Amino acid sequence: MGSFDYEKLFDVVIAGGGVSGAVAAIAAGRTGAKTLVIEQSGYLGGSLTSCGVGPMMTFHAGEKQVIKGVMEEIVENMVARGYSPGHIKDTTQYINYLTPFNSEGLKIVLDDMLQDAGCEVLFHTFIGKVNRKDTKIHSITVCNKDGLNDVFGKIFIDATGDGDVASFAGAPMVKGRESDGAMQPMTMNMKYCNINVDLIKEHIEKYADRFPRMVNNIELMKKTKRLSFAGFADEFKEARKQGELDIKREEVLCFETNTPGEFIVNTTRILEHDGTSALSLSEAERLGRKQCEQLDKFLRKYIPGFRDAILEFTGPSIGIRGSRQLVGIYTLNGQDVIERKNFDTVIAHSAYPIDIHNPKGEGTESSFVSEPGTYYSIPYEVMVCKEVSNLLVTGRCVSASFEAQAAIRTTPTAGALGQASGIAGAMAAFADLDTRNVDIKELQNHLILQNAYLDLHIRKS
């Protein structure tokens, strides 16, 4: 094994190997573009593999699958290798379908798919500086075991989740809610195995009226391949009253993974911290673990089926719902989502609702699309800014209002955006174009050729 060639000029350099960045790399690599992914961890998958996030929510609008392409290939690959049961009904009734998976298997699947697409990857590598001249980024200074080196590219894609590259390049960015800058709370997930699923199901069936999100799905719950449940609000309230919990949420939210009897617990809430501040992020990690310790005692005491549970991990990194957002050529807003605004420049669809966890305390506010079973569109312009001509932004930090970002931040949508950014980046590199001048019709055709779902005939707004 030789040394990495830091003199090489890549067509597409992608900062961040989360799902959006990994899919961008696969899409770009398949066009023949010389593609590099820079990733701070030792594996791909981002929040799904480093934050304990799961399941994937959602590929569907009602019964219709509206996210396909590379994202669906990832799922099919995991199903074939025993790492996922595929798309299954959500027994909490929040959405129609969700997709459990094995996070270790996902790492392997993504490794293989990037290698097959001819991509290069630098793990354990951090972005130190973005080197821009006039309107173009000519290199990124990275830090890893080789020291400090510059990486050169024609097109750069920011898939960091926090907009690090865009911010360091001087692109206009905003953070948080428009009224006060408040950001959604962070969550440190926990993963348990050795859960007695039958006991949980029996309890929910017996006390169904105490589980408003489950009460109409009892028969589905009894036969589901993997259980998701939300509830135990009375127990949660009592534990808070007794001083056993200092978590400003109202109920427990749990999702069974690909492994029967293994659950992700998504219940902590770390308020008023900033994922773009090293100090704030460090404090959030500590507070997250403290909440996990409280929650562990609560689960064993109050939740049937958790008495003999084995805690596998917390984190390993805290989950961040939102931080910086690009100020792009177009900013997607909440009305665009709810009213399903159509765009001629559409590059992805989604049906995940506006899902806002209260930045200041208790409560979660959800707003769904105006007609059940329908979906909204996301235009290319949310990934592009005027100020940096060879930059694209993908994932949860694209140009979106606080409300809209709360809808498009989840993994399947981020992956769909990643596929579009990867193809667009390759097109711009091959034709020596600014990213804002990419031919949208050609991009849409390439997406369809890569099996992405694009409805180019939905109603005009």
* 409 vs 18: CA distance, rounded Å: 13
Torsion sign across C-alpha atoms 220, 223, 225, 230: positive
Q: Is residue 436 very low, low, confident or very high in pLDDT (cuts 50, 70, 90)?
A: very high
Single-letter code of the amino acid located at 133? K
Instruction: Quote the percentage of the chain above a pLDDT of 90.
Output: 96
pLDDT for residue 1: 77
pLDDT for residue 461: 37
pLDDT for residue 458: 56
- The residue behind tokens 């709360």 is 406
* All domains in the chain, ordered by first residue: 9-181+322-351+375-449 (3.50.50.60), 190-314 (no CATH)
Q: What is the mean pLDDT of residues 408-418?
A: 99
Q: Tens of pLDDT along 155-173?
A: 999 999 999 999 999 999 9
* 352 vs 12: CA distance, rounded Å: 29
Q: Looking at the predicted structure, is the pLDDT value of residue 183 above 50?
A: yes
DSSP string, 256-300: E-SSTT-EEE----B-S--TT-HHHHHHHHHHHHHHHHHHHHHHH
Distances from the Cα of 452 to the Cα of 414, 419, 448, angstroms = 13, 8, 5
For 458, the 3-state DSSP assignment is coil
Q: Tens of pLDDT along 103-140?
A: 999 999 999 999 999 999 999 999 999 999 999 999 99
* 427 vs 225: CA distance, rounded Å: 42
Distances from the Cα of 379 to the Cα of 121, 164, 177, angstroms = 28, 22, 22
Q: Looking at the predicted structure, is the pLDDT value of residue 254 above 90?
A: yes
Q: Looking at the predicted structure, is the pLDDT value of residue 315 above 90?
A: no
pLDDT for residue 444: 98
352 membership: H or E segment, kind and range:
none
pLDDT for residue 61: 97
For 234, the 3-state DSSP assignment is helix
Spatial strand order of the sheet with 263-265 comes to: 228-231, 252-256, 263-265, 190-193, 310-314
Q: What is the mean pLDDT of residues 389-394?
A: 99
Distances from the Cα of 212 to the Cα of 215, 306, 324, angstroms = 5, 21, 35
Q: Tens of pLDDT along 30-41?
A: 999 999 999 999
For strands 346-350 and 97-98, give the pairing.
Answer: unpaired
pLDDT for residue 457: 72
Q: Looking at the predicted structure, is the pLDDT value of residue 371 above 80?
A: yes
- pTM comes to 0.96
Q: Tens of pLDDT along 341-370?
A: 999 999 999 999 999 999 999 999 999 998
